[in-house]
Amino acid sequence: MTGSTDFATGRLLVVAFEGWNDAGEAASGVARSLVETLGLEAVAELDGERYIDYQFTRPQVGHDEEGERTLVWPRIQLHAAPDTSTGLDPATADGSEVLVLLGAEPSRSWRSFSAEIVDLVDVHDVTAVVFLGAMLADVPHTRPISVFTSSDNAEVRAELSLERSTYEGPVGILSVLGDALETAGVPTLAIWASVPHYVHNAPSPKATLALIEKLDEVAGVSVPRGDLEAESAAWEQGVDALAADDDDMAGYIEQLEQARDTVDSPEASGEAIAQEFEKYLRRGDGKNGGAGRPDEPGYPPVV
């Protein structure tokens, strides 16, 4: 970790779930990178029979190293340094340590699931939690990925100059888990990236990279970029090529670019920005592949 804040000093748990919260596999991509680069190992596993609907998140059949067919079940695991009782991982030389909760999004018994996570946080002396998520939104792939960071903890907001979400409505597991942790006295923050909804079928290395950069900025967690920058450029070029062969898609992307540039321009007034948001909210309305206002606190605006 580099340049950590008081929030990130101690044992920091990074949480990412595959599925609804993970557009473009961006959030889980960051979590997997942390597990791999920090050499973390699974120290606890949640009971999939209790929390995962296997009709929704199905087990996969594959082959092991010996070529034998094997069944792989969806898992939710807590990862930590091999022996957290004897010291900190060498990669976190500033005196802080990272743990990672990664796996399939729980489908049921959210209150029981949250209570179990709160217990694990207590057992492993976790001092703060960061939630990672990615959403499908009306954003152009040609512009920087929009990333929104928020916290329901007043001290965290003051320390990191963050916003508090004003969203009201249905929520997902990250909000439920965040509420349980805050109630237990564990400070949390959420980082969400916006992924262009018109390329929702493919992983988005550009969104993964954006989450990594924001995680480093607000929590001091440094994740090696590896080939992500090159992969992000290749991803953008690939979408460009698709748009070049589709006039409708190219025209739609141009509209998104204009809206984004209007919002980002120095002279943009609050009223102009609100009008752009309202236009895309009305146009979204569930008709554009999941874009539009998300049902999760902490999500960024749609543009």
Q: How do residues 134-159 score in pLDDT, each as one tens digit?
A: 998 888 999 999 899 999 999 999 99
Quick check: 130 pLDDT over 50?
A: yes
Q: Give 30's pLDDT tier (boundaries 50, 70, 90).
A: very high
Could you give the CA distance from residue 3 to residue 18 in angstroms, rounded to a whole number?
29
For residue 162, which phi and psi values (nearest 5 degrees)? Answer: -100, 165
Quick check: 5 pLDDT over 70?
A: no
β-strand pairing of 97-104 with 76-80: antiparallel
Q: Is residue 245 part of a domain?
A: no
Could you give the CA distance from residue 29 to residue 7 in angstroms, rounded to a whole number?
23
Q: How do residues 238-281 score in pLDDT, each as one tens digit?
A: 999 989 988 888 999 988 988 888 777 665 555 554 555 455 44
Range of the domain at 179: 11-233
**pLDDT for position 265:** 64
Q: Is residue 156 part of a domain?
A: yes
Residue type, 255: Q
193 Cβ neighbours under 8 A, 6+ residues apart:
23, 26, 27, 133, 134, 135, 145, 146, 147, 207, 210, 211, 214
Q: Is residue 23 part of a domain?
A: yes
Q: Let me know: does 291 contact 137? Beta carbons within 8 Å.
A: yes
Q: Let me know: does 296 contact 172? Beta carbons within 8 Å.
A: yes
Token pair for 39: 């050499």
Using only C-alpha atoms, what is the Rg of the chain? 20
Q: Is residue 141 part of a domain?
A: yes
Half-sphere exposure of 61 (CA within 13 A, CB side): 2
Token pair for 188: 């949390």
Q: Let me know: does 289 contact 200? Beta carbons within 8 Å.
A: yes
Q: What is the CATH number of the domain that holds 153?
A: 3.40.50.10900
Q: Is residue 94 part of a domain?
A: yes
Q: Is residue 65 part of a domain?
A: yes
**pLDDT for position 230:** 93
Q: Is residue 271 part of a domain?
A: no
Total tally of structural domains belonging to the chain: 1
**pLDDT for position 271:** 54
Token pair for 139: 């954003």
What does each C-alpha distance from 269 to 263, 281, 282 come to in angstroms?
Answer: 8, 19, 20
State mean pLDDT over 96-110: 94
Could you give the CA distance from residue 220 to residue 232 in angstroms, rounded to a whole number?
22
Token pair for 243: 């748009």
pTM above 0.85?
no
Token pair for 117: 């996570």
Could you give the CA distance from residue 72 to residue 119 in angstroms, rounded to a whole number?
27
Quick one: DSSP state of residue 38? T
Q: How do residues 35-54 score in pLDDT, each as one tens digit?
A: 999 999 999 999 999 999 99
E strands along 76-177, which residues? 76-80, 97-104, 128-137, 147-150
State mean pLDDT over 42-67: 91
Residue type, 56: F
Q: Is residue 85 part of a domain?
A: yes
Which secondary-structure segment (H or E) carries 44?
A: strand 41-45
What does each C-alpha distance from 135 to 46, 65, 139, 190, 243 come to in angstroms?
Answer: 25, 35, 11, 13, 21
State mean pLDDT over 15-36: 94
Could you give the CA distance from residue 44 to residue 259 in angstroms, rounded to a whole number?
45
Q: Give the number of residues written for the chain.
A: 303
Biggest distance spanned by C-alpha atoms of the chain: 63
State mean pLDDT over 191-206: 90
